Structure 1
Amino acid sequence: MAEYPATIARRVDHEIEIKRSRFLAHLVPVSSVDDADAAIAGIRKEFWDARHNCVAMVTGVSGDQARSSDDGEPSGTAGVPMLEVLRRRGMTDVVAVVTRYFGGVKLGAGGLVRAYGNAVSEALDRAQLVRRRALTHAVIEAPHADAGRIENLLREWASARDAVLADPEYGHAARLGVWAPPDQLAPLAADVAAWSSGALGVEIGETAIVDVAEPLAGRAAGA
C-alpha cells in the first residue's frame, strides 16, 4: 500500500521553558499554501508582542512543498530544525509556528536548535494524527430488511482489515459503502457472497486518498 505523509486533526498549542525563555509551539492543519499563510498571519497577530514567531510548513499530499523562517533568530537555528522535525515525523499539510518570549539568557546556536526542534516535537506528541492512504470505494446494495445485519458485518470486516466505512445511502435499497485497501477487494466480494448466500455483490468505484484519524489513546509518540 502506498505510504503518504500524515497531517493532524486540529490545532495544538504547547509551551516549553528553557532558561526563562518561553517557546510556545502552535501546530495548525492546513489544506493549501494560502491556508498556511493565513494561519501564520493569524498566529503572528495573536502573539504580536513576542520577539520571534518562527515558522516551518509542509504542504501537498506528498509533502512536496516546504519552507521555513527564522524570523530574526540566527540563520538556521529555528525554522530549519522545526522543518526537520516535521519531515522526520512524516508530516504534511501542517504549519508549525514557535513563538519565543526572550527570558534574558542567550542559549547559543545549539541551544536554539534544540529548543525550537523540541518545541515542535513535543507538540506533535500531543497531536491527533490523520493518516492518508490510497483506498478504493466499494458498495454493497442490500434490501432494507437485510441492511442492519450486513452493515454490522461490514463494520466488523472493516475494523479487521484497515478499511474505513463510508456513510450509507438509502433509496429503493440500502447502499452500504466502505473504503478498502485494493488488495482486500477480492476477499470482500467473497465475504459478501458468504453473508448473503450469493445474493449480494460488490460494486467497485474510485480509488482516492482518504484521511483516517488515529485514536489519541495508546498512540506511541515518535521523535
Structure 2
Amino acid sequence: MSYPIPAAICKTEYEIKKSRFIAWAAYAPDREAAMQLLSQAKSEYPDARHHCWAYLLGNPASAASAAMSDDGEPSGTAGKPILNVLQHKGVGDVMLVVIRYFGGIKLGAGGLVRAYSSAAQQVMEQLEIQQRVAMAEFTICCDFSQEQFLRHWLDQVQGQVIDIGYSHQVQVVISVPESEAGGLPDVASERGWNLLIAE
C-alpha cells in the first residue's frame, strides 16, 4: 500500500503576541525516528520553553500508531491540535514538533490551540511529499556464482539487500517493491534460487 510521506525536513516560523512558534515536520518511519527528531529540536532550541509534538505512523488512512505531547502546556492545548492537523493532511510516517518561545503575553487556552494549529498547518502546507513504496521481504538461498546476478536484478527493480550470510551457500534477505514481487518466483526458478517468503 503506497501513501504520501515527507520527502525532506521542513521548518517554518510563526509569531503571535510576541510568542515564537517554530514548527518542524519530517519523515519518521517509527517511534525511534520520531523521538530522534524531538531530541534534535531540543538540542537546537535548548532555551525554548516548550517542545510540543505529535506523530502519525503508517498509512494515514488507518494509522498504525499515533502519539502526542503538550510538553508542559495546559492539557489538550498543544499536542492534540498538532495531531489533529496531521490527521487531516493525509500524510503518513510523519513527526511534527512545535517549539515555543514564550513572549510574555499569555494566549489563553483557546489562543494556544489556535497558535499550535496554525504553526502545524503552516509547516504541513510547505512540506514536500513523496509516495512511499510498499516493500515485500524475501529470503533467497543461492550459489555464490549467483550473488552478482541477484544484486544486479535488485538494482533493476529498486530492491535492496537487508542482510546477507555466507555458509555453504549465500543466504540473502532482500526487500523489493510489492509491484515487482510477483515476478520474483519466475526469476528464482529460472536461476535455481531457493526462495523463502519472510514472515
TM bracket (short chain): 0.5 to 0.7
Q: Quick check: 1:54 aligned with 2:52?
A: yes
Aligned pair count reads 146
SS in 2 for 1:106: coil
TM-superposed deviation, 1:170: 8.2
Counterpart in the other structure of 1:83: 83
Matched position secondary structure for 1:15:
strand
2:14 aligns with 16
In structure 2, which of residues 3, 23, 26 is the aligned counterpart of residue 25 of structure 1? 23
Aligned to 2:98: 98
Give the direction of change, closer, same or farther, for the CA distance of 1:126–1:205 in structure 2 (3 Å limit).
closer
Equivalence for 1:68 = 68
The answer for the alignment partner of 2:181 in structure 1 is 206
Q: Secondary structure of the equivalent of 1:66?
A: strand
- Mapped to 2, the partners of 1:25 and 1:33 lie a distance apart of 19
Q: Residue 85 of structure 1: CA displacement?
A: 0.4
> What is the identity, as a one-letter code, of the residue corresponding to 1:70?
D
State whether residues 55 and 68 of structure 1, in contact with CA within 8 Å, keep that contact through their aligned partners in structure 2.
yes
1:39 to 34, 37, 40: 37
Aligned-residue RMSD, C-alpha: 2.7
Q: Tell me, yes or no, if the aligned pair for 1:53 and 1:99 is still in contact at 8 Å.
A: yes
Distance 1:205 1:5 in 2: 17
Task: Choose 29-38 or 101-110, whichever is displaced more.
Answer: 29-38
In the superposition, the TM-score normalised over structure 2's length comes to 0.65
- Unaligned ranges ≥5, structure 1: 136-168, 179-203, 208-223
Q: CA deviation at 1:111?
A: 0.8
More moved, 57-66 vs 105-114: 57-66
> Does structure 1 conserve the Cα–Cα contact (< 8 Å) formed by 2:53 and 2:98?
yes
**What's 1:113 paired with?**
113
Matches within 5 A, 1:160-199: none
User: Deviation at 1:132?
Assistant: 3.8
1:134, CA displacement in angstroms? 6.0
TM-score when scaled to structure 1? 0.58
Post-superposition offset of 1:6: 2.0
